Amino acid sequence: MIRVDRAKYVHKRLDELYPETPIPLDHVDSFTLLIAVLLSAQCTDERVNKITPGLFLRANNPVNMAEVPVEEIRELIKPCGLSPRKSKAISELSKIIIHEHGGEVPQSFEALERLPGVGHKTASVVMAQAFGVPAFPVDTHIHRLAQRWKLTDGKNVVNTERDLKKLFPKESWNKLHLQIIFYGREYCSARGCNGMVCEICTTLFPNRKTPVEWKK
C-alpha cells in the first residue's frame, strides 16, 4: 500500500469512528480557547479543563485578564505546569490584544504567532477551531501516529504538517487533526500501541515485524 492509499484508508476509517469531533478543550469564545490551548502545552486537556473554570471565573476576556496580577494567574494555573512562563504570557498577550487588536483575538496566523506564548501549533488550533480557517495543527501525538502510519518522513513536526496537508483534502484538515488525536488516545497511545497493535496499524502494515521507533 503506497502513502496515498494509506492516507485514504486512514481518512475513511477515522470518519467512520469519529463522525463528530467536539473540541476537547472547554471554552466559550476565541479568547478562552486561546488561553486553554496555551495552557495545554505539556499538560493534558483533562487537567486544563479542571483549571480553566477557576481562571475564567476570575477573568474570561482580555480586559479583565490584563488587570489580574501575574502572580495570581500563576497560582490559578499552577497545576498545569510551566506556570511562571504561562502566566506571564497570558498577562502580556491580553494587553497586546487590547492595545493592538481592539480587544479581539486576531484572525491571522502571523498576528497570533506574534503573541507571547503562542507558537504555530497554538495559532493553528485557534484559526481552525475558533475561526474555521483550514489548518492542520500537529502535536507530538499526531507526529508519532503519522510516523507509525508512514504518512511522513518523520523528521520533525514541520515536515509532518507539510506532508499531511499534501495527503488530505484541505476541507478535511480541521476535523481530521481532532480525529487523529481521538484515535491516538483511544487505540494508538504511546503505551498502548507500538505500531503493531491497533486496528489501523495492523491493517496498514500486516507484516510489520518490529516496533516503530520514534523520530523527533
**110's grid cell:** 502571523
**Taking a C-beta distance cutoff of 8 angstroms, is the pair 150, 122 a contact?**
no
Known catalytic residue: 121? yes
Question: What pLDDT score does 215 carry?
Answer: 60
pLDDT tens-digit map of 167-184: 999 999 999 999 999 999
Quote the domain boundaries for residue 147: 3-21+137-204
pLDDT tens-digit map of 25-39: 999 999 999 999 999
Known catalytic residue: 139? yes
Same domain flag for 100 and 170 = no
pTM as predicted: 0.90
Residue 12 maps to which CATH number?
Answer: 1.10.1670.10
Same domain flag for 39 and 90 = yes
Same domain flag for 120 and 73 = yes
**Active-site pick, 26, 78, 139, 215:** 139
How would residue 48 be classed by pLDDT, with cut points 50, 70 and 90?
Answer: very high
Exposed e or buried b for every residue in 116-153, given b needs 16+ CB within 10 A?
bbbebbbbbbbbbbbbeeebbbbbebbbbbbbbbbbbe
How would residue 154 be classed by pLDDT, with cut points 50, 70 and 90?
Answer: confident
**Active-site pick, 86, 121, 150, 175:** 121
